[in-house]
Structure 1
Amino acid sequence: MDHIHEVLQAADKPQIVGLVEVEDERMATMVLDAVRDLGYRNMAITKGGSATQCVLLSSFPIQSVVSLPTTSGVRDILVASVDVGGPLLHVLVNHWKAKDSGETESLRIKSAKVARAEVDRLLKQDPATDIVLMGDFNSTEDEHRATGKTTGINDVLRTTGDSTSMTAQTSRYLYDPWFEMPVSQRGSEVYGSSWESLDHIIMSPGLFDRTGLSYDVGSFDAFRAPFLLSYQRAADGRQVPNRWQESGNHHGSDGYSDHLPIMAEFTVWPDHT
């Protein structure tokens, strides 16, 4: 709890926070209580039976919460509608199937189809609605190029790095800001000795219309506070995440996470109507 508090405080208290691999509602409530002094008052959590739930912390009121089931053995997707002081922001917190041994992309595709169906449902109601998908997608921003196969993130969600294409409300694409960064600077997690960008903040076209809530293009980055980095280095020379230490089946008090937090900034534009 102290480490979560430390990270959020160092990151200048982001007003909306997505977490994954939270054990249950009791633990999520403990996390919320531990960071109340930073301004967090509201919490939402998925309702699955596993000990790896998705959670949203918010300093803004949460108007509604839905836990979207995907398929057997795959985590639910959390949908929380947040009142940020204008039109609602719909946040989908995801934790897709990991790349275990064997073929697992089919399970990520199933999660992507559930997430995309919810996005399409919201866009059908209002093409300008503001939607953010965040979490650990266990997929890189260019997964389809790396694998040469159909992927959940690129082909089902239909992600793009072209922000100019997002200004049209008829766009069927969702924006992935990892593409803003040089390839050599991308990454939130190290596998083997190479960086991977498995964590994402993905956005709908409504976040580019400078009405209500809009994304500040270029603000996205992984949060690399010195205490979150280890003395060890990846193949490219960058310091790797200072992950929590494990002894047997128990986590120690040292270290933080094997994934770096990722962040993006948004602006609430005044209503000129």
Structure 2
Amino acid sequence: MIRKVLSSLFVFLLLFKGHAQNKSFVIHTVAFYNFENCFDTINDPETNDEEWTPTGDQHWNTKKYQQKLENLARVLSEIGTSANPNSPTFIGGAEIENQGVLEDLIRQPKMIDKDYGIIHFDSPDKRGIDVALLYQKKQFQPTSYANIPLYVYKGEQPIKETSKADSQEDLETEDLIQLNTKNYRVYTRDQLLVTGFLNGEEIHIIVNHWPSRSGGEKKTSPFREAAGTLNRKIIDSLQHINPNAKIITMGDLNDSPFNNSVKIALGAKGKIQDVGEFGIYNPFEEMANKGLGTIAFRDSWDIFDQVMVSGSLLQKDYNTFQYWKAGIYNKPFLIQKSGKYKGYPLRHSLTEIGFSDHFPVYIYLIKEKK
């Protein structure tokens, strides 16, 4: 009797496996990459970009600029292709000087056939670096977008304006902090909210680049906690309108998945079973626990770049788009091969045009084909 039951169970499992294998899915890759100092060569009198000009410290000329764009295009076109042959449907980016560099980027040979659209706003950051979203027009139709400012202030006394990094840690999270001497506002990047339809389903995407650790992690933590609080408010407002809103928030947070800005202010959970109603899941917490990273400092890795999803993308009802899995794109060509920073992300130097001091991150969204 037992043998007959086991035999029947075995046949059932074979049939179930065969049925599952016959299913096919639509897959979309959602990526984020800190482009690290993606500047053109033109001096903008409204920002502190003099370093990235032909006469500046970086001797930034047309040849170097074009190589930077070519390098970025190679990375962006390949993210997530191990499971999805198409390049990312969505690319969130940070450290972008202006709309013009994005237009130059999407015209690169490795990008142009994907027909990317651009959503970008100039932010009040005094270095002139912004966030943006690239999207494949044939897959996603935006219906609304807004840049939401982050208002943070430096106590009662202004700190000294910083235009150079004071340590290697500051270099890894470089940011110009400039204060309005009347109200001591710290000028930083806005948070970009984009809403639209992905193959007919409404999706909300928030792109972030939270205030840096320049000046010290502990001292600047309140700025990033404020950024997490603002992110949570944006998500709350979307879920108030539609409790089942599908939301993705991503960016360079300048904090790990365990810092207060992410765990408390935003309220992200590292385990799917802990994500309650209106909750946020952060798949990069588990990766951080394993010692993986997107940025390195003194041979210690951390994950500042993260993509998180609302609980509505965790339902496993593949009749609609759902979260599948996440990853860090850290292929060998993106890694420094020698020298003091061997094993680190291959970034720009005066003698080599690299990629970025960050590795890109990504998630997949999937839906069963009908």
Which residue among 24, 27, 49 is the counterpart of 2:101? 27
Which residue among 320, 331, 338 is the counterpart of 1:212? 320
Summarize the alignment of residues 1-20 of structure 1 with structure 2, pairs less than 5 Å apart: 1-11=69-79, 12=81, 13-20=87-94
| SS of equivalent residue, structure 2 residue 336 | strand
- How far off is 1:112 after superposition? 1.5
Contact map agreement 1:178 1:186 (CA 8 A) in 2: no
4+ runs of 1 displaced by more than 4 Å? 232-235
- Give yes or no for the alignment of 1:122 onto 2:226: no
Match of 1:63 in 2: 143
Q: Distance in 1 between matches of 2:223 and 2:282?
A: 21
Contact map agreement 2:346 2:354 (CA 8 A) in 1: yes
Summarize the alignment of residues 169-180 of structure 1 with structure 2, pairs less than 5 Å apart: 171-180=277-286
- Give yes or no for the alignment of 1:94 onto 2:208: yes
| SS of equivalent residue, structure 2 residue 88 | coil
- Give yes or no for the alignment of 1:239 onto 2:353: no
Contact map agreement 2:239 2:278 (CA 8 A) in 1: no
Superposed CA deviations along residues 94-140 of structure 1, whole A, max 9, x for unmatched, are 00011112411111122112211110000111111111111100110
Summarize the alignment of residues 140-219 of structure 1 with structure 2, pairs less than 5 Å apart: 140-143=256-259, 151-166=260-275, 171-181=277-287, 183-209=289-315, 210=317, 211-216=319-324, 219=325
Larger radius of gyration: 2
TM (normalized to structure 2)? 0.64
Contact map agreement 1:40 1:57 (CA 8 A) in 2: no
Contact map agreement 1:136 1:198 (CA 8 A) in 2: yes
Q: Distance in 1 between matches of 2:322 and 2:145?
A: 22
Summarize the alignment of residues 43-58 of structure 1 with structure 2, pairs less than 5 Å apart: 43-50=118-125, 51-58=128-135
Q: Distance in 2 between matches of 1:38 and 1:131?
A: 28
| SS of equivalent residue, structure 2 residue 301 | strand
| SS of equivalent residue, structure 1 residue 142 | coil
Superposed CA deviations along residues 219-251 of structure 1, whole A, max 9, x for unmatched, are 21110111101124999xx92211121x3xxxx
Structure 1 residues 9, 206: CA separation in 2 closer, same or farther (over 3 Å shift)?
same
Higher relative contact order (CA 8 A, sep 6+): 2
Contact map agreement 1:62 1:82 (CA 8 A) in 2: yes
RMSD: 2.2
- How far off is 1:36 after superposition? 4.3
Amino acid at match of 2:297: Y
Match of 1:78 in 2: 192
Superposed CA deviations along residues 142-176 of structure 1, whole A, max 9, x for unmatched, are 12xxxxxxx2211110011111233x5xx243111
Superposed CA deviations along residues 65-86 of structure 1, whole A, max 9, x for unmatched, are 1000111412100111132113
Structure 1 residues 38, 225: CA separation in 2 closer, same or farther (over 3 Å shift)?
farther
Listed as ranges, the gaps of 5+ residues in structure 1 are 144-150
- How far off is 1:269 after superposition? 4.6
Listed as ranges, the gaps of 5+ residues in structure 2 are 1-68, 82-86, 152-184
Contact map agreement 1:234 1:240 (CA 8 A) in 2: no
Structure 1 residues 194, 38: CA separation in 2 closer, same or farther (over 3 Å shift)?
farther
- How far off is 1:44 after superposition? 0.6
Contact map agreement 1:190 1:234 (CA 8 A) in 2: no
Amino acid at match of 2:124: G
Identity of aligned residues (%): 22
TM (normalized to structure 1)? 0.85
Structure 1 residues 78, 234: CA separation in 2 closer, same or farther (over 3 Å shift)?
farther
